[in-house]
Structure 1
Amino acid sequence: MSLINPIPDTNWLKNNKDNLRISDEAYLELVQIYDLIDSIDWEYSRINDDATLIDKINQFATNRKKTTVSVVYIVKNEENFILKSLASIIDFADEIIIVDTGSTDGTLECITELSREKIFLYTFEWCDDFSKARNYANSHASCEWILVLDADEVVDDFKNLKLLLSYFKLFDSFSDTVFNFNIIRGSDYYKTGKLISNTGAFQYRGRVHESFYSINNKDIYYANLKINVYGQKRENKEKASYYNELLLKTMLDYPTDSRWCYYYFRDNYSQINLNQMFEYSCKSIFKRGNVVSENNFISNYFSVHIIMFILSKMIDENNYILFDCYLNLIEKKVSGHSDFIFLKYAREFRLIQEDILNSMKSFLEEYNKCLFSENIFSPNCINSLLGYYLFLGGFFEESGLIFRELNLNIRDYPSFINENLINYFQKIHDESYSCNDF
């Protein structure tokens, strides 16, 4: 018998409503907490059958156990942000752990002045390792769950989170699951692990861009929650340089872990070349040496994205010797993904574009010398060809000018250009043209 997920969809709830011995209010609460889960691929399936799930739900409605959450920070010189962050979680948190790593501003004074019983302040001597500071902070948490926040992060609405966590406790400790929140920093939006069960099953790794790892090297499941965390974009050259230094050291610490290579490529794509990518990624994406084969490829989320960066750099540098080999490595994993399709056809278009540019160069040399006298074909024919070449070569405005002029004067185009294409070229130069027209 296959196991089922304890987070059923709304159709399951409707179909089994008569078997649930719960009030209408409790039923609506279930709908709300189920809606917090935003993961269609969450592989959490541990309930034997519908009857067991129904029994668990009835237990939840009649004998709900309270759960507790520790909110944990590491801070340094955060006097401008920490109070606002604390205000957003002060009523939600059962315990607040703050570890200061060497503040020289008024951060400690701000926290001390709050004088709340639930706030516990510790210090940690900075050692160029965010994961060690995080692990030290988490070690002081005493609640059932740990929520990790940065000092500039604000949670606007916990949306029945504790209710969901109480529901989870009916099934097991969830010691193998990391819960992702939505992180919004200006125009940047991404998901990252923020919440774990406080069972000692996880530790952070990485001097920077620290991430949760199982201390027993067991599989980790990730579930996305519909909870938004708002932060500040505070990047600067000095900070970026320091993070890169820590990231390179982390790559040496964990040479076979593709996570850190992915972060380095993501943060430094424009500064590194293809040969450097090969050198940095070799040990983390291949089992033996740099043999590019499916059997030798260590396939996971990060290695697949590393390959995408490598393919993109091949296009940038017009180096396609191993392009198909690398493309084939990830095709089964991401063949329908827009990034894969982009890379596949960007290479094809780049090759076509090179042929077109070579042809256009020859054409322009002859066009500048050609004679217009006693023509069999209208001059519009060769001018249309000029406009077409300019468009394919990337000179869109110049191409639009030519076709606009041709369209105003005469609509007798050569057969090699479709009239719809002519209208499209002209539209390129139209002042009212925008991407919203599509």
Structure 2
Amino acid sequence: MENITFSRDTVFVNWIANLDRRHFFDENFTIAAVIIVKDEERCIARCLDSINDYFDEIVIIDTGSKDDTLNILDSYSNNKIMVLEKKWEDDFSYVRNESLKTVKSDWIFVIDADEYLDENSYDFKKIIAMINAYSDADKNVFCPIIIDYDGNVSISVPRIFKNNNRFKYFGRVHEELRVYEQERFSLPLKIGLNIILRHDGYKKDIIEKKEKYKRNIRLDLINVEEEPDNPRWVYFLLREAKTTLSLQEYKNYITKHILKNQNAGIVIDNINDGEYTYGLLAQYAYKCLFDGFFSVAIDMAKILDELMPNNSDSVYIENYANIATCKQLEKECLRKLVVYRKNNNNNSIATDGMLHSEGNSEGKHIDYLLGCALFDTGHISRAIDYFDYLKGYFESDYLFNYYREFFSIVFGKV
């Protein structure tokens, strides 16, 4: 079982659990890597170098590169690499499906140009040989482990499947692989494999240079228009459109796709727990954070925790919202204290826009709170000035001792 990361196919799980580990699996099969490229001079050589020795066939579809990508591909002089050129039609599925028609190998492994095979997975064909012996392998899809540059891990993206003309991609972007069975296309069962791909295509500078989000949002909207009842397309739209769609638009999508009763509100008892329910709700919660609706975000975090106990999204969302709410209150406290000090103490003077008493005993408690509020809003040097001014006062107070301990640790002064 060490080669399997997860499976939604209980028949497969039982089959693999009962395997005789001494069993010899026939590796007499072929496998093709299929890659779509456009302006990938940054990374295409790295990708090919990682797979060139381990695949029987490499099919590359270029959709209009204007950089040095094609010259780099030409430098790989071997007969296993086939480069085809297709006009970009705003449709990743179209290009992927065209590439599948070209493959002659028994198995297909879809790899992106900004990915590369991890060196610990160079013996991946032994794993493919094992699943090749499984009787239902022709209708299941298999998922490598994809590790992003920032450590994010995806384990359920289907990339490996048999070349039997039963599989087809759907969707303009974030395309969905479906299998033809019982006279219709449906979602295949996913089985995770311990084969590692490394990915770095969503670094901020790369996204901005290639305008990926702008392209993706445009294609996401087409996906939603073409298949309005498919929650997958809505999930990816909400994931990428936080600066484009309003919070109300997010809520409208959530209401349509995950609620049993659209008039009853977003509460745990009114939620249909489907494949994309958690993801859709999480995107709505993150949008609430993004737009500053922190109390709603906290409510959504609690629902997420009921759907998936102890998940990191709930912990992050709830605590981020609590911290942000505190910061808002701290900023408002500072504003009120400054206004009060200015309007109620004739002996006050302004320094850099801040106010303090010139020594009269009255008002020191307000100055004390001003010091606290300055500290909490990040005006550390001004806060130190206030606490120095108030030395000898409030030294038994809880907040005073809290800040004094902080100053002692960070600045070496009391």
Q: TM-score by structure 1 length?
A: 0.72
Aligned partner of 2:352 in structure 1 is: none
* Aligned mate of 1:75, from 37, 55, 60: 37
Cα distance per residue 1:376-417 (max 9 Å; x no partner): 99x4x554432223344x23525652476379x558614343
Aligned partner of 2:125 in structure 1 is: 162
Shift of 1:352: 5.0
Structure 2 residue 267 is the aligned partner of structure 1 residue 305:
no
Aligned partner of 2:341 in structure 1 is: 367
* Aligned mate of 1:423, from 396, 399, 405: 405
Structure 2 residue 205 is the aligned partner of structure 1 residue 223:
no
Aligned partner of 2:54 in structure 1 is: 92
SS in 1 for 2:103: coil
Q: Which amino acid aligns with 1:388?
A: C
Cα distance per residue 1:316-349 (max 9 Å; x no partner): 5454786676455433123422321232344445
SS in 2 for 1:139: helix
Shift of 1:305: 3.1
Structure 2 residue 144 is the aligned partner of structure 1 residue 144:
no
- Closer, same or farther: CA 288–53 of 1 in aligned 2, 3 Å: closer
- Root mean square deviation, CA, Å: 3.9
- Closer, same or farther: CA 53–239 of 1 in aligned 2, 3 Å: closer
Residues 169-188 of structure 1 correspond to what in structure 2 (within 5 A)? 169-174=132-137, 175-185=139-149, 187=150
Q: Which amino acid aligns with 2:20?
A: K
Aligned partner of 2:373 in structure 1 is: 389
Q: Distance in 2 between matches of 1:228 and 1:183?
A: 6
* Aligned mate of 1:242, from 215, 223, 226: 215
Q: Distance in 2 between matches of 1:223 and 1:209?
A: 19
Shift of 1:277: 1.9
Residues 128-143 of structure 1 correspond to what in structure 2 (within 5 A)? 128-143=90-105
Q: TM-score by structure 2 length?
A: 0.75
* Aligned mate of 2:233, from 238, 245, 260: 260
Aligned partner of 1:58 in structure 2 is: 22
Q: Distance in 1 between matches of 2:62 and 2:362?
A: 84
Q: Which amino acid aligns with 2:36?
A: I
Q: Is 2:111–2:159's contact at 8 Å kept on the other side of the alignment? A: no
Cα distance per residue 1:416-438 (max 9 Å; x no partner): 4373453125556x399xxxxxx
Shift of 1:257: 2.5
Out of 279-288 and 174-183, give the one that drifted further: 279-288
Q: May I ask how many residue pairs the two structures share in their alignment? A: 388
Q: Which amino acid aligns with 1:221?
A: K
Structure 2 residue 246 is the aligned partner of structure 1 residue 283:
no
SS in 1 for 2:186: coil
Q: Is 2:33–2:59's contact at 8 Å kept on the other side of the alignment? A: yes
* Aligned mate of 1:204, from 162, 166, 169: 169
Q: Is 1:176–1:201's contact at 8 Å kept on the other side of the alignment? A: no
Shift of 1:256: 2.5
Aligned partner of 2:388 in structure 1 is: 405
Aligned partner of 1:314 in structure 2 is: 288
Shift of 1:212: 2.8
SS in 1 for 2:60: strand
- Closer, same or farther: CA 265–218 of 1 in aligned 2, 3 Å: closer
Aligned partner of 2:354 in structure 1 is: none
Q: Which amino acid aligns with 2:189?
A: I
- Closer, same or farther: CA 74–48 of 1 in aligned 2, 3 Å: closer
Q: Which amino acid aligns with 1:401?
A: I
Q: Distance in 2 between matches of 1:323 and 1:55?
A: 47
Q: Distance in 1 between matches of 2:326 and 2:308?
A: 24
Q: Which amino acid aligns with 2:197?
A: N
Q: Is 1:155–1:230's contact at 8 Å kept on the other side of the alignment? A: no
Q: Is 1:75–1:103's contact at 8 Å kept on the other side of the alignment? A: yes
SS in 2 for 1:422: helix
Shift of 1:142: 3.2
Shift of 1:130: 0.3
SS in 2 for 1:59: coil
Q: Is 1:99–1:123's contact at 8 Å kept on the other side of the alignment? A: yes
Q: Distance in 1 between matches of 2:245 and 2:226?
A: 21
Q: Distance in 1 between matches of 2:79 and 2:292?
A: 62
